[in-house]
């Protein structure tokens, strides 16, 4: 926060107009101002609100779920790979083929999951910012 500077207007007459400088456009604005009248920027702490916080949290949780799903798929895939190898279901189904299918599946799950997480984060950023009611 910039140091509040009091401006003395006219000779000797100190108005109750304590001014501060907008950190965005360097215009002088009243100390009590929460939004700059010159450039329209908030000059107090802002928050996207509860909805944005919820979306962001959901994005983080979803990223965690995605990682867990990928690990689970990998674990199950190892079982399938071993089983297909031991039981020789089909000569065409080699461990390499199972691996290829498994890693493709995991890549798709991870990419889609992360896309949704990033999307949720972007949506959270889109919500309009308002002055925080907490400090
Ligand atoms: Zn400004």
Q: What is the pLDDT of residues 82-96, one digit of tens each?
A: 888 788 767 777 888
Q: What integer is the mean pLDDT of 98-119?
A: 94
Q: How far is the CA of 33 from the centre of ligand 1 (A)?
A: 11
Q: How far is the CA of 124 from the centre of ligand 1 (A)?
A: 24
pLDDT at 11: 45
Identify whether residues 59 and 10 lie together within a single domain.
no
Identify whether residues 55 and 18 lie together within a single domain.
no
User: If you average pLDDT over every residue of the chain, what do you get?
Assistant: 85
Distances (CA, A) of 105 to 34, 82, 100, 111: 50, 18, 9, 10
Please identify which residue in the block is written with the tokens 């890693």.
Answer: 103
| Lowest mean pLDDT segment, chosen from 5-19, 81-95, 107-121 | 5-19
Identify whether residues 77 and 16 lie together within a single domain.
no
Identify whether residues 81 and 113 lie together within a single domain.
yes
Identify whether residues 6 and 65 lie together within a single domain.
no
Which of the two residues, 33 and 90, has the higher pLDDT score? 33
Q: How far is the CA of 39 from the centre of ligand 1 (A)?
A: 4
How many domains, the chain? 2
Identify whether residues 56 and 118 lie together within a single domain.
yes
130-131 and 5-6 strand pairing: unpaired
Q: How far is the CA of 9 from the centre of ligand 1 (A)?
A: 21
Q: Domain of 125?
A: 49-131
pTM above 0.95, yes or no: no
């Amino acid at each position: 926060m910039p140091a509040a500077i009091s401006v003395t207007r006219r000779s000797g007459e100190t108005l109750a107009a304590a001014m501060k400088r907008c950190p965005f456009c360097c215009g002088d604005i009243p100390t009590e101002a929460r939004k700059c009248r010159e450039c329209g920027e908030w000059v107090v702490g802002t928050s996207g609100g509860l909805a944005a916080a919820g979306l962001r949290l959901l994005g983080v949780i979803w990223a965690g779920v995605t990682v867990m799903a990928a690990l689970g798929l990998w674990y199950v895939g190892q079982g399938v790979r071993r089983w297909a190898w031991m039981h020789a279901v089909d000569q065409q189904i080699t461990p390499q083929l199972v691996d290829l299918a498994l890693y493709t599946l995991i890549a798709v799950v991870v990419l889609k999951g992360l896309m949704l997480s990033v999307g949720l984060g972007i949506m959270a950023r889109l919500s309009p910012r308002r002055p925080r009611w907490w400090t």
